[in-house]
Amino acid sequence: MIHVAAVGDVHFGPDAAGTLRPHFEHLVDRADLLLLAGDLTRVGAPDEARALAEELDGVGVPVVAVLGNHDYHCDKADEVTRILEGVGVTVLEGDSVVVPVNGSTVGVAGTKGFGGGFVGACGSEFGEPEMKAFMAHSRCLADRLEQALAGLEADVKVALLHYAPCADTLLGERLEIYPFLGCYLLGEAVDRGGAVLTIHGHAHRGSERGLTAGGHHVRNVAQPVIGHAYRLFCLGADGAGADPECATPALTGA
Amino acid sequence: MTSPASPDAGDLGALTEQTRRALADDPRLGQLDVSITLRGQRALLTGHVVTEDRRRLVADVVAEHLPGYDIDNATTTIEHLPEPPATAEELGVDR
């Protein structure tokens, strides 16, 4: 069994210092790895990344992250990445990492992803250069995600995104902004790449649960949606019922 | 005696968007997902912010851009998160 903790959209900054750390104290007893689904900072400023890095330093489990659109706002995404990597966080963009877990392996492929919309109401690479560039960026990131997933050699593959790969988890958001919240190309990449679980954020007013067109699990872990420091997932054998191995230690006294 | 002219829907829409943009552009906030609803002379703010300080700042910025409006700040903060969930969601997966 593989226990995955995940959260996105913490929009951290110095003003939030100390608010996450207490919730991570027992993480090592509850999860095998922690996934961060982008929008880690308020506007992508280095001091915000440093504040988050202090919360994550020494949590005791591997931490894998992607950046979100907010993390690019100050045009210092590389510095944000370096600061997080400085405390051991693996920051993915079109690449992957394999984490050994209890004699098994979980492979995580990640990208920020981008918008574009969903089947029946999506953009296309047509017309003005700006529109072509918008959709080409989305396609490029989806292609790189698919390649990263395809290249993974792991017992279980997980996709980590910021933007949504399906519309299911956007339920609650205004329909008009769906094209800015995700893209069907990401869902296709996930299905072709064989990810059994896709974690994303970005949709603060969306819903938690969805499926790709191919029937793979999608979970929106944007913190405003989950209302917790993280969600926990237990990846087990297909068709399993309640599995005692999926029980997690109580928080107190764990 | 005349009553003040009510702004038309176009004016209200523009005012709402200008204020929303101010929340996004303010480097102290970078806040994209606060909804602003204008009804009469009242502005209702909804959405999530991370800290209480940011919640207050959202109201201050909106008040600067909507002088004369009463601000009903219904944004929620998740600064005090509840304990993490006690159980994991079990996902059966093909390997």
Any CB–CB contact under 8 A between A56 and chain B?
no
Domain presence at residue A233: yes
When divided into structural domains, chain B yields a total of: 1
pLDDT at A208: 97
Q: What is the mean pLDDT of residues B74-88?
A: 84
When divided into structural domains, chain A yields a total of: 1
Any CB–CB contact under 8 A between A244 and chain B?
no
pLDDT at B91: 87
In this model, does residue B78 exceed pLDDT 50? yes
Domain presence at residue A213: yes
CATH of the domain at A231: 3.60.21.10
* Cβ–Cβ < 8 Å for B71, B43: yes
Classify residue B27 by burial, with Cβ atoms within 10 Å: 0-12, 13-18, 19+.
exposed
Domain presence at residue A158: yes
- Going by the DSSP 8-state scheme, the letter that residue B39 receives in this structure is E
CB–CB of A228 and B95 under 8 A? Answer: no
In this model, does residue B4 exceed pLDDT 90? no
Locate the DSSP E strands across A115-155.
117-118, 121-122
Q: What is the full per-residue pLDDT of chain A (254 aa) written as tens digits?
A: 899 999 999 999 999 999 999 999 999 999 999 999 999 999 999 999 999 999 999 999 999 999 999 999 999 999 999 999 999 999 999 999 999 998 999 999 999 999 999 999 999 999 999 999 999 999 999 999 999 999 999 999 999 999 999 999 999 999 999 999 999 999 999 999 999 999 999 999 999 999 999 999 999 999 999 999 999 999 974 433 345 555 544 433 22
**Residue A156 to chain B, least CA–CA distance (Å):** 6
Domain presence at residue B4: no
Question: Cβ contacts of residue A123 below 8 Å, gap of 6+?
Answer: A115, A116, A117, A131, A134, A135, A138, A179
Average pLDDT, chain B: 86
Domain presence at residue B41: yes
Domain presence at residue A149: yes
Domain presence at residue B93: no
Q: How many CB pairs under 8 A join A and B?
A: 111
pLDDT at A240: 37
To test the contact with chain B by mutation, choose from A232, A251, A252 the residue with the greatest count of B C-beta atoms within 10 A, namely A232
Range of the domain at B71: 32-79
Any CB–CB contact under 8 A between B51 and chain A?
yes
Q: Search chain B and give the residue with CA nearest A231.
A: B85
pLDDT, tens only, B47-75 = 999 999 999 999 999 999 999 999 999 99
pTM of the model: 0.90
Domain presence at residue A49: yes
Q: Is A238 helix (H, G, I), strand (E, B) or coil?
A: coil
Domain presence at residue B46: yes
pLDDT at B92: 72
SS3 percent helix, strand, coil of chain A, rounded to 5, is 35, 30, 40
CB–CB of A205 and B85 under 8 A? Answer: no
* Cβ–Cβ < 8 Å for A87, A51: no
Range of the domain at A161: 2-238
Domain presence at residue A246: no
